[in-house]
């Protein structure tokens, strides 16, 4: 790796320009949808023009950009900020509903591209908004998911950020010195898988309609939900999320959430004839185990009736029904652990204890190497193993005992363990501070009554890129009542959470800019 | 260190017996006080008899106990549980007020010996309870403080628990191989200092009375408060804590809180002619700096009036008064950061933002090597430096950069750093789980309405051995309204928090009991 005496800002900006040009291409899809439904294509054409202009301008800064270690950090931070900024243009030009306000539009766009799924739309339906706009909202998540896969598997793992270096062991593709061809190679492999899974979701969802099992899962809805299943996004053009559909649709969405929250690098190996790498993976096993335990617990509580605080409207009686308890208990577990954030019912009707279980589950966060957010299972796994090791070495001070992945001989190096602990402390501190910020700001916001528990859930739901929280930020509610200051703060949380915190903090240190 | 194939439970129990015999000696003091005030000495005589009987019986189990590495863990856990159990006897035999119930008596006794200072007494006054009982309550904190000094400086640091090994560098006394003479030597040095400081507090507090500046700071009160100042305890025989006294008393208590929250090993060196070891100590500097910053911030908010939510009863108007703003802002900062838990006024009248600052300060926790609880400044210091190092090495992956204490050349070894991170994650996890346990239990408890914020404060106030929290567990309120289950859970929290969590968890691992 070559040493430089300053950061090559021009290269970083030039690569942001390239990203904006790719973004402009994707805007052709909602343009076509707008024309098909006889809606105005103007929102997308304006965004397209601006994206091309800005992209071309930025690319001119440095015609042959080089992506080295440091430039990668800046490029990633800039891209994940300015792509969502350009993404607001369709909402602003369209100008219907709450998204007409720039702060709301930025919130919605950042929530989309970071695959968070928190919304400030007060009326979510294709009656209140153009179908093309509603599809653009879904598409932002799908595009965001693509970006995150590459970010996690190819970029952050190479940069050894917060323990993501563990993914490097699993990362597919050629081992090359330069970052750029490495990214290109990995991206190609991951995106192919991502696209195939998305297509499979469209087929499965729409097949339910064709077989007469899900009358309202139209082709539009099938595409719209496939686009937000794979990136663990959670946006839905239906105001009541997946509750709006038949039970069979809810069951059909579950496997796709599980798929979406798994390390995509492992699929690559499975696809290349090494399924054992997926099956024996320690994180994958912990991921399935934690969802099984939490899902079973919630289902039992729902079945016994103690999991519900009130009788929810429009949902068939749950206590005593095995199918319904299992379905809702498991669905909400998957939706939260994978950080997708879909809802099969309003879990605000659940009792305190079941809601608190969901709140704890929000800190798990799917697998590394997927588009899932939050802390991620692998970090908990390493922390858990390190604590066990510590308890052993306190009793046996002379013992040397490395931390291993699963039962394999693969030793996790101490620097990686240290990185993970640093990440944990940073994540939890930022979460605690954010809870307080949101709580105090809400006290000054007319028309918003936010309890400390609700503030806690709003902080983890945005920082962890989950989407819905508890109470006023519940799955059938939205973030619109917050002050614009709080919304912009949450935009920051979604952004820094998505970039695994450290990669943003690095840019703020003097050491980054000096030699 | 000799290797054994099992834990010598008899030795641990025998040493617990010795501790109980020492405890019986200390019971002579409240017996004398009872006789002086013509109160019944029975509560103390019963406790004394039981302590001697149990102590002698346990000592017979192993007449020549040896304290090795593993036995130390068991001895510490047993002692910190059974000494408080014996400590309940005076409350139970006396049988006045809420302490007549065994769960309440255990809560109060554990709160005393762990220097927590949380109370379940509904009426705190020498009118409602015998003076000897109120003094016993104060004395439990003083005794607990003595125990903790030795535990931190001589035992846990030798056992390398949760980063306490950092204190070992500073620990006074001879360097010996065996644990028992080491403990004896260190205890002698620390207790002498502790006793002198306590005497100084008695003299200063009572002098204010003799000079006519504090009419209600009687000799009884001077002794009672000196006994809970040095162990960062916080119990007071006055229902309104230090608010009951003149402003000058509040000022006089402050330096003793600062003294109590400092690493006592450093005083030992200062006393032996090396004050520079105190002044240049990185933790001591961070400790003073954090209290200055938080104190100044709270004082400014109080001065401007934005720090208050309502006009507190019985307290002179604070906004605009430099002396009052400074006094209350600084007093509460010291009371919380040193984990003493005294109150110069009811901070439940403070605004949300000032209360939240106090809540955050509860996680700091004074210096290691003092009787202060919570996380402790040195751990935050090491974590902060590790995070800075991590941000540096992410940019410079080839760089090797050790973490140092202050500007010295003293490098903190990586295993110690790792222990500290493990402690942080365990402490914060136990705190989070406890918040939820208390919150959910309160929902089932008639007559107790506990918000999530109040549950948060109750969890940290007990786990961190601070005492008062926010709202219903505020400084002028008490923990009596909780269910007995919740009280016993908090007894557990005070106990495990006091023993730095890890030393208790170790006992629960199979590796501890096996060879
Ligand atoms: K999401
Ligand atoms: K205390």
Mean of the pLDDT values across residues A11-39?
94
Residues in chain B closer than 8 A to A1 (CB atoms): 397
Contact B452, B439 (CB under 8 A): yes
Q: Which ligand is nearest to the CA of A257?
A: 1
The rounded Å distance from CA A467 to ligand 1 centre is 5
Is residue B5's pLDDT more than 60? no
List the single best residue of A177, A394, A451 to mutate versus B (max B Cβ within 10 A). Answer: A394
pLDDT confidence tier of residue B176, bands split at 50, 70 and 90? very low
pLDDT digits (tens, 9 = 90+) for A183-199: 777 788 888 999 999 99
Averaged confidence pLDDT in chain B: 90
CB contact under 8 A, A390 and B422: yes
Is residue A92's pLDDT more than 50? yes
CA B316 to chain centre: 30
Question: Rounded CA gap, B44 and A252, in Å?
Answer: 70
pLDDT digits (tens, 9 = 90+) for A129-143: 999 999 999 999 999
Count CB atoms within 10 A of the CB of residue A104: 25
Chain A, 245 to 264: residues with Cβ < 8 Å from chain B are none
Which of these, A141, A342, A131, lies nearest to A227 by C-alpha position? A141
Count CB atoms within 10 A of the CB of residue B265: 31
Per-residue H/E/C for B345-374: CCHHHECHHHHHHHHHHCCCCCCCCCCCCC
pLDDT digits (tens, 9 = 90+) for B27-71: 999 999 999 999 999 999 999 999 999 999 999 998 888 778 888
Chain B, 438 to 477: residues with Cβ < 8 Å from chain A are 439-440, 443, 451-453, 456
Residues in chain B: 515
pLDDT digits (tens, 9 = 90+) for B380-424: 999 999 999 999 888 888 878 888 887 777 788 888 899 999 999
CA B131 to chain centre: 23
- Distance, in angstroms, between A109 CA and closest chain B CA? 29
Give the whole-number percent of chain A exceeding pLDDT 90: 66
Higher pLDDT, A497 or B187: A497
pLDDT confidence tier of residue A511, bands split at 50, 70 and 90? confident
CB contact under 8 A, B509 and A392: yes
Mean of the pLDDT values across residues A67-95?
92
- Distance, in angstroms, between B503 CA and closest chain A CA? 9
Residues in chain A closer than 8 A to B421 (CB atoms): 418, 421-422, 424-425
CB of A386 within 8 Å of any CB in chain B? Answer: yes
Is residue B375's pLDDT more than 90? yes
- Distance, in angstroms, between A95 CA and closest chain B CA? 37
Residue B403 β-bridge partners: B412
Averaged confidence pLDDT in chain A: 90
CB contact under 8 A, B506 and A391: yes
CB contact under 8 A, A160 and B391: no
List the single best residue of A1, A380, A395 to mutate versus B (max B Cβ within 10 A). Answer: A395
Question: Rounded CA gap, A8 and A426, in Å?
Answer: 28
Contact A17, A83 (CB under 8 A): no
* Residue that the structure tokens 């119930």 belong to: B101
The rounded Å distance from CA A182 to ligand 2 centre is 56
Most confident of A305-309, B214-218, B441-445: B214-218
pLDDT confidence tier of residue A487, bands split at 50, 70 and 90? very high
Question: Rounded CA gap, A459 and A455, in Å?
Answer: 6
Facing B394 at nearest CB: one of A159, A394, A439: A159
Q: What is the per-residue pLDDT for B66?
A: 79
Residue B411 β-bridge partners: B404
Tokens of B364: 């700091």
Give the whole-number percent of chain B exceeding pLDDT 90: 66
- Distance, in angstroms, between A488 CA and closest chain B CA? 20
Question: Rounded CA gap, A169 and A369, in Å?
Answer: 11
Q: What is the per-residue pLDDT for A176?
A: 45
The rounded Å distance from CA B264 to ligand 2 centre is 17
pLDDT digits (tens, 9 = 90+) for A378-387: 999 999 999 9
CB contact under 8 A, A419 and B392: no
Neighbour-count burial for B314-325, b at 16+ CB within 10 Å, e otherwise:
eeeebeeeeebb
Tokens of A419: 């990185």
Facing B440 at nearest CB: one of A353, A388, A503: A353
The residue of chain B with its CA nearest to that of A390 is B419
Q: What is the per-residue pLDDT for A265?
A: 86
Question: Rounded CA gap, A442 and A473, in Å?
Answer: 12
pLDDT confidence tier of residue A251, bands split at 50, 70 and 90? very high
Residue B350 β-bridge partners: B308
Q: What is the per-residue pLDDT for B170?
A: 63
Mean of the pLDDT values across residues A370-385?
94
CB of A392 within 8 Å of any CB in chain B? Answer: yes
The rounded Å distance from CA B371 to ligand 2 centre is 9
Question: Rounded CA gap, B24 and A511, in Å?
Answer: 60
pLDDT digits (tens, 9 = 90+) for A401-427: 888 887 777 788 888 899 999 999 999
Tokens of A342: 């879909």
Neighbour-count burial for B449-458, b at 16+ CB within 10 Å, e otherwise:
ebbbbbbbbb
pLDDT confidence tier of residue B317, bands split at 50, 70 and 90? confident
Contact B266, B284 (CB under 8 A): yes
Q: Which ligand is nearest to the CA of A234?
A: 1
CB of A353 within 8 Å of any CB in chain B? Answer: yes
CB of A157 within 8 Å of any CB in chain B? Answer: no
Question: Which of A273-287, A454-468, A488-502 is predicted with the least confidence, judged by mean pLDDT?
Answer: A273-287
The residue of chain A with its CA nearest to that of B514 is A395
Containing H/E element for B11? helix B9-26
pLDDT confidence tier of residue A515, bands split at 50, 70 and 90? low
Q: What is the per-residue pLDDT for B183?
A: 75
Facing A436 at nearest CB: one of B356, B414, B505: B356
CB of B272 within 8 Å of any CB in chain A? Answer: no
Is residue A171's pLDDT more than 70? no
Mean of the pLDDT values across residues A27-40?
96
Higher pLDDT, A298 or A165: A298
- Distance, in angstroms, between B401 CA and closest chain A CA? 12
Is residue A2's pLDDT more than 60? no
pLDDT digits (tens, 9 = 90+) for B249-280: 999 999 999 999 999 988 888 888 888 888 98
Tokens of A190: 């991951």
CB of A203 within 8 Å of any CB in chain B? Answer: no
Is residue B438's pLDDT more than 50? yes
Q: What is the per-residue pLDDT for A178?
A: 59
Given 3-state DSSP classes, what are the helix, strand and coil percentages for chain B, each rounded to the nearest 5?
Answer: 65, 0, 35
CB contact under 8 A, B440 and A69: no
Residue A412 β-bridge partners: A403
CB contact under 8 A, B391 and A70: no
- Distance, in angstroms, between B422 CA and closest chain A CA? 6
Q: What is the per-residue pLDDT for B162?
A: 78
Mean of the pLDDT values across residues A432-452?
90
Contact B369, B248 (CB under 8 A): no
Q: What is the per-residue pLDDT for A180?
A: 67
Is residue A156's pLDDT more than 90? no
* Residue that the structure tokens 């290269």 belong to: A11
Q: At what angle are helices B42-61 and B28-36 packed, to 10 degrees?
A: 170
Q: What is the per-residue pLDDT for A170?
A: 63
Contact B494, B462 (CB under 8 A): yes
């Amino acid at each position: 790796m070559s040493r430089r005496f300053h950061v090559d800002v021009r290269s970083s900006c030039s690569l942001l320009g390239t990203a904006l040009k790719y973004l402009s291409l994707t805007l052709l899809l909602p343009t076509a949808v707008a024309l098909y439904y006889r809606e105005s294509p103007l929102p997308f054409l304006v965004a397209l023009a601006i994206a091309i202009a800005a992209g071309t301008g930025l690319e001119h800064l440095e015609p042959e950009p080089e992506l080295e270690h440091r430039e990668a950090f800046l490029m990633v931070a800039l891209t994940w900020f300015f792509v969502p900024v350009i993404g607001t243009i369709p909402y602003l030009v369209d100008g219907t509903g709450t998204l007409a306000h720039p702060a709301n539009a930025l919130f919605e766009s950042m929530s989309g591209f970071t695959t968070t799924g928190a919304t400030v739309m007060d009326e979510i339906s294709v009656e209140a908004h153009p179908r093309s706009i509603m599809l653009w909202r879904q598409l932002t998540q799908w595009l965001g998911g693509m970006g995150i896969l590459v970010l996690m598997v190819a970029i952050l793992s190479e940069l050894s950020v917060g323990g993501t270096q563990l993914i490097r062991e699993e990362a597919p593709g050629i081992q090359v010195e330069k970052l750029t061809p490495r990214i290109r190679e990995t991206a190609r492999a991951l995106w192919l898988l991502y696209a195939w899974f998305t297509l499979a979701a469209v087929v499965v969802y729409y097949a339910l309609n064709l077989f007469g099992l899900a009358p309202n899962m139209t082709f539009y809805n099938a595409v719209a939900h496939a686009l937000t299943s794979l990136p663990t996004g959670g946006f839905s053009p239906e105001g009541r999320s997946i509750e709006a559909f038949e039970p069979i649709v809810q069951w059909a969405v579950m496997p796709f959430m599980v798929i979406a929250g798994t390390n995509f690098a492992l699929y690559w190996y499975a696809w290349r004839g090494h399924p054992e790498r997926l099956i024996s993976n320690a994180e994958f096993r912990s991921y399935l185990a934690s969802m099984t335990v939490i899902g079973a617990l919630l289902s039992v509580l729902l079945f016994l009736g103690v999991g519900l605080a009130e009788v929810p409207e429009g949902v068939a009686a749950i206590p005593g029904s095995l199918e319904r308890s299992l379905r809702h208990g498991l669905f909400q577990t998957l939706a939260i652990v994978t950080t997708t954030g879909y809802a099969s019912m309003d879990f605000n009707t659940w009792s305190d204890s079941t809601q608190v279980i969901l709140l704890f589950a929000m800190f798990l966060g799917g697998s590394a190497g997927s588009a899932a957010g939050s802390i991620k299972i692998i970090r908990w796994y390493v922390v858990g193993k390190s604590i066990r090791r510590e308890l052993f070495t306190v009793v046996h001070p002379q013992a040397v005992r490395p931390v291993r992945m699963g039962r394999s001989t693969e030793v996790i190096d101490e620097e990686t363990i240290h990185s993970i602990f640093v990440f944990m402390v940073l994540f939890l501190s930022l979460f605690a501070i954010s809870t307080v910020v949101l709580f105090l700001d809400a006290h000054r916001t007319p028309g918003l009554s936010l309890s400390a528990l609700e503030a806690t859930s709003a902080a983890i739901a945005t920082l962890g890129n989950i989407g819905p929280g508890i109470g006023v930020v519940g799955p059938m509610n939205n973030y619109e009542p917050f002050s614009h200051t709080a919304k912009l703060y949450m935009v920051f949380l979604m952004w820094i959470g998505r970039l695994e915190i450290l990669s943003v903090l690095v840019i703020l240190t003097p050491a980054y800019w000096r030699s």
